[in-house]
Amino acid sequence: MLAISRQRILGQCFQKIRPAVSELRSYSSAAKQITVREALNSSLDEEMSADPKVFLMGEEVGEYQGAYKITKGLLEKYGPERVLDTPITEAGFTGIGVGAAYYGLKPVVEFMTFNFSMQAIDHIINSAAKSNYMSAGQISVPIVFRGPNGAAAGVGAQHSQCYAAWYASCPGLKVLSPYNSEDARGLLKAAIRDPDPVVFLENELLYGESFPVSDEVLDSSFSLPIGKAKIEREGNDVTITAFSKMVGYALKAAEILEKDGINAEVINLRSIRPLDRSTINASVRKTNRLITVEEGFPQHGVGAEICSSVVEESFAYLDAPVERIAGADVPMPYAANLERMAVPQVEDIVRAAKRACYRSVPLAATA
Amino acid sequence: MEAALTKKDCIITSYRDHCTFVARGGTLLEVFAELNGRQAGCSRGKGGSMHFYKKDSNFYGGHGIVGAQVPLGCGLAFAQKYCKDEAVTFALYGDGAANQGQLFENLNISALWDLPAILVCENNHYGMGTAEWRAAKSPAYYKRGDYAPGLKVDEMDALAVKQACTFSKEHALKNGPIILEMDTYRYHGHSMSDPGSTYRTRDEITGVRQDIEKEVRKELDNAVAQAKENPVPESSQLFTDVYAKGLGVEL
């Protein structure tokens, strides 16, 4: 139980140690349920209330109440000086956000989706991520870039890319990706309080999903540590790592595998950079098999990094090759049947886990 | 420019940042040590020529990507307004950067939000090796603000520059962004890799140069000598300052 004892040692974390049952049933029936949207909204509200230097900026965040209603009510509460509607000029307003962070303010910049962050990526990487290093600590950049990342449904190739691997490869950035409401609250609060630039990758399809949250999570001082993954479900036979929406898929796959006598351990990464290599490796040393799951493109993806980490640190413990489940190596197609094939499904995770446990014929080597 | 400003006003510029750094209070030793990659450099040897900063004098660098400093400068102006500091930001850029899209995006936002930003175009008539008439359809950079007013100033006249800066500061605090086009000349090439003579004649260059150098030569030589004595950064410095709060991830 190395992973559990590591979590216990954390000073900052308010979590209780939870029994290793599906997280949807681990609380009493009196536990409150909130959507991810409510979790994000309440976090922004509380952090803005606690620190007058925090302000929001982005397209439609104010009068429209947020393109996805994440910033609902905040303009009315905090006024137009702290909730700023921007023109559709990502390069321009992201630069303004980073400049304001240089001066000492704490901007939260919303990208309507992270696809549009590519227009501003020079400011995220060259102006924000690298400044603390280039100035030897003089210029820190306490900014958060947040918004939906990855595939939605039926929005086509230019609106569906996952940017986790791109941003997580850059030293100087921290990259977080919540799954449930507790993650959304804890990680966003931690991101806003953090003195470094944080890329906060949400998921549009998760905004409306409800999850139970304890009183501790609802407290305004709650936050989660950056750089720590969470073991959502304990198991002994195979480790499955995932982040964001894929955590839900991995948990469903684990329930299916249970029926076939395969006990999967599901790790919710929460933090893509820094990656919690110690939790992942401890798990693989226990189970000896690893499946990585992500929505994004397979080449140079998050799974590739996790696989490398495990090969470097725990090679002798592996009983099967590491399997990567990722999106198809194509721009996202529009047709619903093709889109379904381009994104990982629960069956793909189940099949891979069975292959890793030698329960089915291995994949033939492809060119 | 410094004569018209206080240290509460912010300055941000491109990679051509050495003199701005000194004007904001940086020492010659810090300059030469940084250029030689030594510990006593203003960025402890980790930034280099293009990345000088002096936050305690509100000098924010030192930026290598052409044009990036303009949105950053408007961001500084935003923050000054947010904090009610009654101060302005001067964002300096060259005629080469004046064509950048992000500059126009920021003129728009600054004018919309009345930010106290002064955009200073140092027009030396060359963008690296390309003369301005080959890069800009309209080289009247002070006019390109459209709804934002602009002034053209003779940068070789120090008193004119001071007047223009004083005026701009008052204007920006009340009315929002203004463009100052400073008409000047480039003595050397664009950078180490540009001899500066492939696109203009030697005579053109010597005709403009003055004799100020002889007086300060001694002071500079001392600083250079001191800088060369200074040690290089410790190897452990490779992994420091990646984050303000490392969370134990740094080696």
pLDDT over 50 at B171, yes or no: yes
CATH for A230-357 (1.10.287.130, 3.40.50.920, 1.10.10.60, 3.30.1320.10): 3.40.50.920
Between residues A75 and B139, the one the model is more confident about:
A75
Over residues A30-64, the pLDDT tens digits come to: 579 999 999 999 999 999 999 999 999 999 999 99
Pairing of strands B89-94, B10-12: parallel
Residue of A nearest to B243 (CA): A172
Which residue type does A344 have?
P
**What is the residue extent of each domain of chain B?**
2-237
In the structure, what pLDDT confidence band is assigned to residue B248 with cuts at 50, 70 and 90? low
**Partner residue facing A127 (CB), from B47, B68, B77:** B68
Over residues B152-168, the pLDDT tens digits come to: 999 888 899 999 999 99
In the predicted model, residues of chain A with pLDDT beneath 70 are 1-30, 360-367
pLDDT at A330: 97
Question: Is B73 near chain A, with CB under 8 Å?
Answer: yes
Chain A window 157-196: which residues touch B at a Cβ cutoff of 8 Å?
171-172, 174, 194-196
Q: CATH assignment of B2-237? A: 3.40.50.970
Are the C-beta atoms of residues B190 and B126 closer than 8 Å to each other? yes
Over residues A225-263, the pLDDT tens digits come to: 999 999 999 999 999 999 999 999 999 999 999 999 999
**C-alpha dihedral over A220, A224, A225, A227, to 10 degrees?**
-140
Residue found by looking up tokens 């101060």 in the block:
B87
- C-alpha A129/C-alpha A170 separation (Å) is 8
Spatial CB neighbours of B85, under 8 Å, sequence gap ≥ 6:
B8
3-class secondary structure for chain B? CHHHCCCCCEEECCCCCHHHHHHCCCCHHHHHHHHCCCCCCCCCCCCCCCCCCEHHHCECCCCCCCCCHHHHHHHHHHHHHHCCCCCCEEEEEECCHHHCHHHHHHHHHHHHHCCCEEEEEEECCEECCEEHHHHCCCCCHHHCCCCCCEEEEECCCHHHHHHHHHHHHHHHHHHCCEEEEEECCCCCCCCCCCCCCCCCCHHHHHHHCCCCHHHHHHHHHHHHHHHHHCCCCCHHHHHCCCCCCCCCCCC
Do the chains contact at B76 and A102, CB–CB below 8 Å?
Answer: yes
A33-218: which CATH architecture? 3-Layer(aba) Sandwich (3.40)
Question: Is B244 near chain A, with CB under 8 Å?
Answer: yes
**What is the residue extent of each domain of chain A?**
33-218, 230-357
pLDDT at A359: 74
Supply the mean pLDDT for chain B: 90
pLDDT at B201: 60
Report ipTM for this prediction: 0.90
pLDDT over 90 at B215, yes or no: no
pLDDT at A4: 46
Do the chains contact at A92 and B53, CB–CB below 8 Å?
Answer: no
Same fold, A33-218 and A230-357: yes
pTM of the model: 0.90
pLDDT at A33: 97
